[in-house]
A and B are shown apart, each in its own frame.
Chain A
Amino acid sequence: MSTETLYQTWYMTQRQLTAILRQPIFLVVTLVQPVIWLFLFGSLFRKVVELPGFGAGSYLDYLVPGVVVMSAVSSNMWAGMGTLEEIERGTLNRFLTTPVSRAALMNANVVQQGVSTAAQSVLIVLLGKLGGADYPGGVGGLLVLLVASVLLGTVFGAGSNAVGMLVRQRESIIGINTFLLLPLTFLSSAFMAPGLMPSWMRHVADGNPVNWALVAGRSAMSADPDWGDVLTRGGALLALAVVAVWLSTRTFRSYQQSV
């Protein structure tokens, strides 16, 4: 990647982050929603830790990574809406007729989404702390959770961008997201300990990237991390993210076929 591409990535990222900061509604939605989840699920499922075999002291401890990961999925899966808007407004076409590299355009999306996801995750972790959550794995464990949620967000962000670019219909993105979010979250250990899940669900969860992020994060955050789990799940997430971004960059070509 040339230095020019890096410069361009920086300028394009800056543009996107500035735009987000200037739209307070957007910030409020992405930040308030996790808080609501934290509060709602925390109250609703408070007693599940008492089930034999759950294996956690306080449900809030268990819930924080779940909400971090769910929020990473739900905020990134709307990335395609922004891409659609840029297409409809003609902004994407304007950039495509300048010398800006396609990689820089896509990188900027990835970096911006990564920064947003990281900020959102940190906030949830801090709120959890405020509510009395305990993070025995310390800063290192939290960092793993952060990286895992950013990688997972990248997968969904890039996927959403690709859908936006290919299908160019808001309805498709809305439909896909509505269809995916809850099954993906509930077919994972986000809110329920795997030991208490029906066995078929546990098997499905093993192949669910959302669960990979949870396994990696929770393991690293525990008092006694299993770094093997962290590395395998983290590695799988990284590979998936790379593939998703690559595919998403490829959709530029298909987009340019249709303009």
Chain B
Amino acid sequence: MTTAAPAVEAAGLTKTYPGGVRALDGMGVTVAAGTVFGLLGPNGAGKSTTVKILTTLARPDSGTALVAGHDALRHPDRVRRAIGVVAQKSGADPVATGRENLLLQGRLYGRRGPEVGRRADELLERFDLADAGRRLVRTYSGGMQRRLDVALGLMHRPQVLFLDEPTTGLDPEARTAMWEEIARLAGEEGLTIVLTTHYLEEADRLAERIAIVDRGRVVAEGTPDELKGELHGDAVHVELGDTPDEVDARLLATALGEFAAVREVAVDGRRLSARADDGPAAVPHVLAVLEQQGAAVASVTVARPSLDDVYLRYAGRRFADADSGTGASTGGGTGGPGGTDVEPAAPAAGRAGAR
């Protein structure tokens, strides 16, 4: 295993499905060996199609794909021996036991003899399935099945492990457990992990490098901090209290805009957001101006830019909007469609936009 050569090197991938759906449009990624790489994007962005091509399941219309040093298009058999795949759908045989699933998987890779059984038991132990190993998979919980899926992908000790949405559909507890397991895997010598997810938090937490995928190509790439750093500055959010009617939102914005330290001021109903190079230092000034204008303040938060902000910047739309399939235009403005009194339901997803 050479550490110098990238584990994955794909360029110019295009793929149009029968029916005219363009899934990939010039997709390209390079993943350094021994790292965790995240493909982040909403449903339908092209992440899964990319993984299917890299894992030799699907063929692109054009483009190149090298995985573990082998050409995925010309020598798919060589690639298959080098990779482990945990697809979105479980794929484990429900009428076989967990152990039988693992044994078969090992044998398909040409492993024979007692070594296969030992490896299976070792993985069952490691993924906390030792007690369930001789039970049929159809009796497993969602989290147990997902752990078995990962164990299946590791059975033959691959060089590159593909995890396609490993935590989708898991409850929070199982998700946290899976995150810990992936983090542990990442520490293993030489193992490269390519992870796709539409959870911003997951990519932020697990991946050393992230490619943001939108409409079949990479729109931004870097470490999570690099991507966030490009946004320059912290987000300052102010929740206004019972503001007297005479306080004009525009006036507030103009007054705040006179501070050089604060940019991109936006007021949406009672929510005011702005960007500042040094968020905490800007807060007293912002509060002073608001008090002058007679606006009551209910709460103030300062946040480092999130991947959601990054996504908005590069894909031109809010992540949640793109993910739920609503149009590209809704997230663009400062306000969004919400009325004056309507509070966004979920604070995490509904942070006021500041472009």
Contact = CB atoms under 8 A, between A and B. Distances in A.
Nearest to B83: A97
Interface string B290-314: 0000000000000000000000000
Interface stretch (B49-57, B125-133, B266-274, B339-347): B49-57
Contacts of A256: 57-59
A23 interface: yes
A97 B85 contact: yes
A7 B107 contact: yes
A123 B55 CA distance: 44
A47 interface: no
B88 interface: yes
Contact of A91 (B58, B92, B110): B92
B90 A19 contact: no
Contacts of A22: 95, 136
A98 interface: yes
B85 A94 contact: yes
A247 B81 CA distance: 27
What is the interface residue range for chain B against chain A?
20 to 34
Consensus secondary structure, chain A interface = helix
Contact of B96 (A18, A257, A259): A18
B95 A99 contact: no
Contact of B90 (A11, A90, A99, A257): A90
B91 A91 contact: yes
- Tell which of A22, A88, A93, A97 has the most Cβ of chain B within 10 Å: A97
Contacts of A96: 56-57
A105 to B, nearest CB: 10
B181 interface: no
B89 A89 contact: yes
Contacts of B104: 11-12, 15
B347 to A, nearest CB: 35
Interface in B82-133: 83, 85, 87-96, 100, 104-105, 107-110
A160 interface: no
Interface string B56-93: 11110000000000000000010011010101111111
Given A22-B136, A90-B89, A99-B109, A259 B58 contact: yes
Contacts of B85: 94, 97
Contacts of A226: none
A11 B108 contact: yes
A94 B94 contact: no
Interface string A97-109: 1111000000000
A98 B110 CA distance: 10
A19 B136 CA distance: 10
A258 B18 contact: yes
- Tell which of A4, A18, A98 has the most Cβ of chain B within 10 Å: A98
Interface in B1-51: 17-18
Contacts of B59: 256-257
Interface in A1-58: 4, 7-8, 11-12, 15, 18-19, 22-23
B178 interface: no
Contacts of B83: 97
A19 B77 contact: no
A52 to B, nearest CB: 53
A23 to B, nearest CB: 6
A8 B52 CA distance: 23
Given A97-B85, A98-B80, A91 B57 contact: no
A88 B105 CA distance: 19
Given A97-B57, A257-B18, 6 more contacts: A15-B104, A18-B100, A19-B96, A95-B108, A98-B109, A256-B59
Interface of B: 17-18, 52, 55-59, 77, 80-81, 83, 85, 87-96, 100, 104-105, 107-110, 136, 152
Listed from nearest, the 6 A-B pairs whose CB atoms lie closest are A90-B89, A94-B91, A90-B91, A97-B85, A19-B95, A98-B108
6 contacts: A15-B93, A22-B136, A90-B91, A94-B85, A256-B58, A258-B18
